[in-house]
Amino acid sequence: MRSAFDLTFDELVALRPPNDARYLYRKLFNFSDWAEGRPVVGKESTVFLSEHFDFALPEITEVRRSEDGSSKLLLRLADGNVIEAVHMPRAVKNPRVTLCLSSQVGCAMGCTFCHTATMGLVRNLTASEIVGQVLAILRALGPIDSGRVTLVFMGMGEPLHNVEAVLRAVAIMSEEAGLRISPQRITVSTSGLVPGIERMASAPVRPCLAISVNATTDEARARTMPVAKKYSLQDLTTAVKRLTLRPHEKVTFEYVLLRGENDTVEDAERLAEIVRPFRHNLNVIPYNVYEGALFAAPEEDALQLFVKRLQDRGCLVTVRRSRGRDVAAACGQLVQEATVRAPRRGLRNLSA
């Protein structure tokens, strides 16, 4: 039976009269009114929904709470595989929550500084599993008001290696009759899959883009990110230039700072040259070490010198101090031994 969370509003309109469809769609995504795991609607609508749709959500099997207020969640999928997500409340004037989402079980990209890469790729998530991941977390930890939610695809997996499911999930979560999460509050982070960026640029409902650069020459990038052997920095920046930005929208560039690998003054100068042609935010991320990691975190003095050099060259820089380190929820630390394993797949499918 089809998941109810793989349903656009137009697809429901094709099955029900428009007014009825709008009522049902609002009920479907108004999870605060659910009872016994499904929306509360009239008798006729209950029969219709029960005959056509499954309402199962990923099961939250564990919540690990960090001292900084964030929480790492383990979610079990219907086939027994486990993914991870992070719930991050932000103490600002109008309190908001950022959800860090997974798009795959594992990852095929093989980045040598990322713990998730040690899993290999088990499988892609479906659009309904991605939407269900969001609903399960919001039901458990809030907020009820989806207008206070920001979504970032920076968890397990390479989102643009699963681009069609991710874009469909974004479209569903953006539906005005449903969750109403603006695509401008959804960011997809990629290690640099150029065909995925080009596909995303043409999507009718397009999220924001974040690019993991992490090195400033093709040779250095290929040492830590195998994707660079297929797509050069020139390929990457050319693809980003094809993206038509909305008013006030910026491209986010992410740079994981690795001690002794990519943290020189020369790296800072080259990085500035890469990002300055774009309306941008540049996130410098001190490396989050995990057991068995091949790299070390930068010294604070080196980090500040690197950032200052970028700022002096006109870059808009933020140092992203990853949350949830004490529960292994920080950038690059999400990893699970899935209970059901498919054959590990690697970089053969990068153009998918």
- Judged against a pLDDT cut of 60, whether residue 332 lies above it is answered with no
Q: Which of 18-32, 137-151, 250-264, 327-341 has the lowest mean pLDDT?
A: 327-341
pTM score, two decimals?
Answer: 0.91
Residues 6+ apart with CB under 8 A from 142: 97
Do residues 12 and 151 both lie within one domain? no
Q: Are residues 43 and 62 part of one domain?
A: no
Compute CA distances 16 → 9, 25, 143, whole Å: 10, 11, 30
Output DSSP code: residue 298.
P
pLDDT at 263 over 60: yes
> Residue 339: which pLDDT band, with cuts at 50, 70 and 90?
very low
Residues 92 and 109: their CA atoms lie apart, in Å, by 35
Residue 327, pLDDT score? 57
186, 84: one domain: yes
Which residues are catalytically annotated? 84, 331
Residue 329 is predicted with a pLDDT of 46
Q: Would you place residue 348 in the very low, low, confident or very high pLDDT band (cuts 50, 70, 90)? A: very low
Helix or strand holding residue 264 (H, E)? none
pLDDT band for 351, please (50, 70, 90 cuts): very low
pLDDT band of residue 349 (cuts 50, 70, 90) is very low
Is residue 85 a contact partner of residue 137, using CB atoms and an 8 Å limit?
A: yes
Q: How many domains does the chain have?
A: 2
Q: Which of 56, 84, 103 is the last residue of a domain?
A: 56
Which residues are bridge partners to 104 per DSSP? 124
**What is the domain-level CATH number for residue 233?**
3.20.20.70
Long-range contacts of 293-301 (CB under 8 A, 24+ apart): 293/113, 293/115, 294/112, 294/113, 295/112, 295/113, 295/258, 295/259, 295/261, 296/258, 296/259, 296/260, 297/257, 297/259, 298/257, 298/258, 298/259, 298/263, 299/259
The one-letter amino acid code at 250 reads K
Q: Does residue 341 have a pLDDT over 80?
A: no
pLDDT value, residue 331: 55
Q: Give the model's confidence band at 322: pLDDT under 50 very low, under 70 low, under 90 confident, else very high.
A: low
Beta bridge partners of 283: 254, 318
Same structural domain, 225 and 83: yes
| Domain shared by 246 and 189, yes or no | yes
Domain stop point among 20, 35, 56: 56
User: Which residues on adjacent β-strands are paired with residue 257?
Assistant: 286
Q: Are both 14 and 69 inside the same structural domain?
A: no
From the list 329, 338, 289, the residue with the least C-alpha distance to 85 is 329
Same domain as 82, residue 16: no
Same domain, 4 and 66: no
Domain end: 12, 37, 56, which one? 56
pLDDT at 248 over 70: yes
- 261 and 278 belong to one structural domain: yes
How confident is residue 343, by pLDDT bands cut at 50, 70 and 90?
Answer: very low
Q: Are residues 69 and 29 in the same domain?
A: no
Tokens of 298: 């930068």
| 345 band by pLDDT with thresholds 50, 70 and 90 | very low
Asked if 187 and 331 sit in the same domain, the reply is yes
Other Cβ atoms less than 10 A from the Cβ of 95: the count is 10
Pair (130, 17) in one structural domain = no
Q: Tell me the per-residue pLDDT of 48-103, one tens digit each, with 9 for 90 and over.
A: 999 999 999 999 999 999 998 899 999 999 999 999 999 999 876 677 999 999 99
The per-residue pLDDT for range 119-167, each reduced to its tens digit, is: 999 999 999 999 999 999 999 999 999 999 999 999 999 999 999 999 9
Q: Containing domain of residue 90, as a range?
A: 57-349
More confident residue, 341 or 6: 6
